[in-house]
């Protein structure tokens, strides 16, 4: 059973990461950018000329690894664990080169009840290694489907504010974002080598007809759509983004980003029309004006 004290007090310590133009370009290619190699706006992210870094890359930088699986004392059924939500807030543009430090910690552990699972909220802060200036804050929610009811042994935090659902009106703006059949094979080179996304046999054993795209890969595709539609491909203008993972994407799917302008910024969801499925829900983003 989930051990609340062990989980709640987990921290990663300092995790060093060296940014490079190559890693930034690989990430951008892994979320589907520059399928048109003559699109000069996208070439800023996939070539070294006037180099820019897609903001959602913050989610993969200085990652603390699969600590939930590796720390047995946590008592978590990691086999039934899924990534529930992801958000980031950008404080400075991500560098294309140089050293950064990541510091992760658990900020909340919520018991949804016996048979209903538990939620673990993890915060990761990214700092410039030289100046210690804060670059970004990433927040993720891990849904531990097999760990509800742990609070009977003590512990448990109140649930946080749930993200707002997307409007039920027609979207103000729609962006179609194609992915390629080899998208997951490229994206995994940014650090997530889970065979569910590359090995057909593993995917079949998990109940899928073929390997699925990483959830954070779909999230990165949506980030590209936001930067394209609302920021004029100026990454520095996208200040924050969050969404809930609601269904898998398959490499080769066309992802349709549906967006609404709201008083708080942008509400969005990502759908795959060909399969009539929503893959990201409860999306929200904030962009600065020019």
Per residue of the chain (290 residues), give pLDDT as tens. Answer: 999 999 999 999 999 999 999 999 999 999 999 999 999 999 999 999 999 999 999 999 999 998 998 889 999 998 889 999 999 999 999 999 999 999 999 999 999 999 999 999 999 999 999 999 999 999 999 999 999 999 998 899 999 888 899 999 999 999 999 999 999 999 999 999 999 999 999 999 999 999 999 999 999 999 999 999 999 999 999 999 999 999 999 999 999 999 999 999 999 999 999 999 999 999 999 999 75
Beta strands in 129-215 (DSSP E): 134-144, 173-178
Q: What's the confidence (pLDDT) of residue 290?
A: 53
In the sheet where 265-272 sits, what is the strand order? 11-19, 98-111, 118-128, 134-144, 81-90, 238-245, 277-287, 265-272, 254-262, 173-178
Find out whether 194 and 206 touch, Cβ atoms under 8 Å. Answer: no
3-state helix, strand, coil in the chain (%, to 5): 30, 35, 40
Q: What's the confidence (pLDDT) of residue 69?
A: 87
Cα torsion 77, 125, 245, 83 to 10°: value is -10
Residue ranges per domain, the chain?
4-153, 173-287
Find out whether 124 and 102 touch, Cβ atoms under 8 Å. Answer: yes
Q: How many CA atoms lie within 13 A of 170 on its CB side?
A: 0
Same fold, 4-153 and 173-287: yes
Strand partners, 271: 256, 278
Q: What's the confidence (pLDDT) of residue 229?
A: 97
Is CATH 3.40.50.720 the right assignment for the domain spanning 4-153? no
CATH of domain 173-287: 3.10.129.10
Cα torsion 139, 145, 150, 155 to 10°: value is 10
Q: What's the confidence (pLDDT) of residue 125?
A: 98
Task: Extract the tokens encoding 76.
Answer: 């978590």
CA 18, CA 130: separation in Å to the nearest integer?
A: 12
Q: What's the confidence (pLDDT) of residue 91?
A: 97
Task: Extract the tokens encoding 79.
Answer: 């086999």
Predicted TM-score of the model (pTM): 0.96
Q: With both helix axes pointing from N to C terminus, report the angle between 21-30 and 215-230 in degrees, rounded to the nearest 10.
A: 90
Find out whether 123 and 139 touch, Cβ atoms under 8 Å. Answer: yes
Q: What's the confidence (pLDDT) of residue 162?
A: 85
- 162 three-class SS: coil
């Amino acid at each position: 059973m989930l051990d609340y004290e062990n989980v709640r007090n987990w921290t990663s310590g300092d995790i060093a990461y060296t940014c490079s133009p190559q890693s930034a370009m690989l990430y951008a290619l892994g979320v589907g950018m520059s399928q048109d190699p003559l699109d000069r706006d996208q070439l800023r992210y996939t070539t070294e000329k006037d180099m820019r870094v897609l903001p959602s890359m913050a989610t993969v930088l200085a990652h603390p690894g699969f600590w939930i699986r590796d720390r047995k004392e946590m008592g978590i059924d990691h086999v039934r664990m899924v990534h529930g939500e992801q958000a980031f807030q950008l404080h400075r543009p991500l560098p294309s080169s140089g050293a950064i430090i990541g510091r992760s910690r658990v900020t909340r552990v919520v018991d949804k009840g016996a048979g209903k699972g538990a939620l673990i909220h993890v915060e990761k802060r990214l700092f410039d290694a030289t100046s210690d200036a804060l670059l970004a804050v990433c927040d993720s929610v891990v849904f531990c489907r097999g760990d509800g009811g742990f609070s009977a042994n003590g512990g448990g935090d109140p649930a946080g504010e749930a993200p707002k659902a997307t409007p039920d009106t027609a979207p103000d703006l729609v962006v179609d974002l194609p992915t390629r059949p080899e998208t997951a094979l490229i994206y995994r080179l940014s650090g997530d080598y889970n065979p569910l996304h590359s090995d057909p046999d593993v995917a079949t054993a998990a109940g899928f007809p073929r390997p699925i795209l990483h959830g954070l890969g779909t999230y990165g595709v949506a980030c590209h759509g936001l930067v394209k539609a609302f920021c004029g491909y100026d990454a520095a203008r996208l200040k924050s983004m969050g969404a809930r993972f609601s269904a898998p994407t398959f490499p080769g799917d066309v992802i349709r980003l549906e967006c609404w302008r709201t008083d708080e910024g942008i509400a969005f969801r990502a759908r795959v029309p060909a399969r009539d499925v929503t893959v990201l829900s409860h999306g929200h983003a904030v962009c600065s004006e020019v």
